[in-house]
Amino acid sequence: MIEKRLALITGGTSGIGFGVAEALAGDCDLALAYAGNHDRANSAADILGKTGSEVKLFPGELSGYDDAKRLFDEVLSTCGKSPEILVNSAGRIRDGFFMQTDFSFHEALVTQQLLVTMALCQLVLKPMYGKRYGRIVNIGSITGFYAKRSQVNYAAAKAGINGFTRTLALEVAHRGITANVVAPGLIRSPMTEGIVRYLESDSGKKIAQHIPSGFIGEPEDVGSLVAFLCSDEARYITGAVIPVDGGRSLGDTGI
């Protein structure tokens, strides 16, 4: 029997990360990292375990390099190998106007979103170099290239992920490793419950105003693209930043 590839998905127990896990399940074994919502993680593992994949859970706040290293070491010892696939989806939003907030408010989010992503990429890359194979997908956001008030920290982190991933892609391409960004627009998830409720409260009128496709994306809309980028068929796609946003980033301001 051919051994399944191992995919490490941060934030793999909820929302977009879970959509990615569902899309990879069956073909890959799954190592799912999450912060601390154990009920959600256990129910995700129950669902994904029915596909025949090995599913392991790795709880713990990821807020800097040491946390990333701890996670990587735990995955190595629990799964017996390093991941061939890394999807960085863990993340929160922390909105606040720049001039009304302390610097530390922004520093924490940028560290969690950007530096943890960079740390995990560096940790998985060494063994990927040896295997001459690897797939990295970092979940960005259209906020990485499309400004939104009160999201300076999130915009800085997501734009940083774009620049980091494109440059990384260039450095590792010769070892059979690809690195891409998938940049979602509005996707239904626990993170976006409030805004989704607001947009859906007026029989779709507000949705059509903001999203050209006229509907809100689901985690599987992101998951299917990520799974393709992680496949052997996607070997020639690297350094791409691909929006999944129903056309929202195309820039129609309506005036």
Ligand X SMILES: NC(=O)c1ccc[n+]([C@@H]2O[C@H](COP(=O)([O-])OP(=O)(O)OC[C@H]3O[C@@H](n4cnc5c(N)ncnc54)[C@H](OP(=O)(O)O)[C@@H]3O)[C@@H](O)[C@H]2O)c1
Active site residues: 154
Per rule CB under 6 A, is residue 13 in the interface with ligand X? yes
Per rule CB under 6 A, is residue 144 in the interface with ligand X? no
Assigned token pair, 239: 């350094």
165, with CB counted inside 10 A (0-12, 13-18, 19+), is: buried
| CA separation for the pair 134, 232 (Å, rounded) | 10
| CA separation for the pair 234, 228 (Å, rounded) | 6
Of these, 5, 6, 7, 17, which contacts ligand X (CB under 6 A)? 17
Per rule CB under 6 A, is residue 155 in the interface with ligand X? no
* Residue at token pair 């990333």: 68
Per rule CB under 6 A, is residue 244 in the interface with ligand X? no
Position of minimal CB gap to ligand X: 15
Residue 141 DSSP SS3: coil
Return the amino acid letter for 58: F
Per rule CB under 6 A, is residue 14 in the interface with ligand X? yes
Q: How far is the CB of 9 from ligand X (least distance, A)?
A: 9
Give whichever of 193 and 202 is closer to ligand X, judged by the CB atom: 193
Q: Which stretch binds ligand X (CB under 6 A): 119-127, 182-190, 198-206, 230-238?
A: 182-190
Per rule CB under 6 A, is residue 23 in the interface with ligand X? no
Length of the chain: 255
Please report which helix (H) or strand (E) contains residue 177, including its range: strand 177-184
Of these, 89, 151, 153, 249, which contacts ligand X (CB under 6 A)? 89
Of these, 190, 198, 214, 247, which contacts ligand X (CB under 6 A)? 190
Q: Which stretch binds ligand X (CB under 6 A): 11-19, 21-29, 118-126, 231-239?
A: 11-19
Helix then strand then coil, % of the chain, to nearest 5: 50, 15, 30
| CA separation for the pair 98, 109 (Å, rounded) | 13
Check if the beta carbon of residue 38 is closer than 8 Å to that of residue 86.
no
For 183-204, give one letter per residue: b (16+ CB within 10 A) or e: bbbbbbbebbeeebeebeeeee
Per rule CB under 6 A, is residue 72 in the interface with ligand X? no
Of these, 82, 192, 238, 249, which contacts ligand X (CB under 6 A)? 192
Q: Which stretch binds ligand X (CB under 6 A): 15-23, 74-82, 119-127, 145-153?
A: 15-23
Of these, 83, 134, 184, 223, which contacts ligand X (CB under 6 A)? 184
Per rule CB under 6 A, is residue 117 in the interface with ligand X? no
Per rule CB under 6 A, is residue 56 in the interface with ligand X? no
Of these, 82, 165, 180, 189, which contacts ligand X (CB under 6 A)? 189
| CA separation for the pair 172, 147 (Å, rounded) | 30
* Residue at token pair 């991933």: 165
Give residues in contact with ligand X (CB under 6 A). Answer: 11, 13-17, 33-37, 40, 61-63, 89-92, 112, 139, 141, 184, 186-187, 189-192
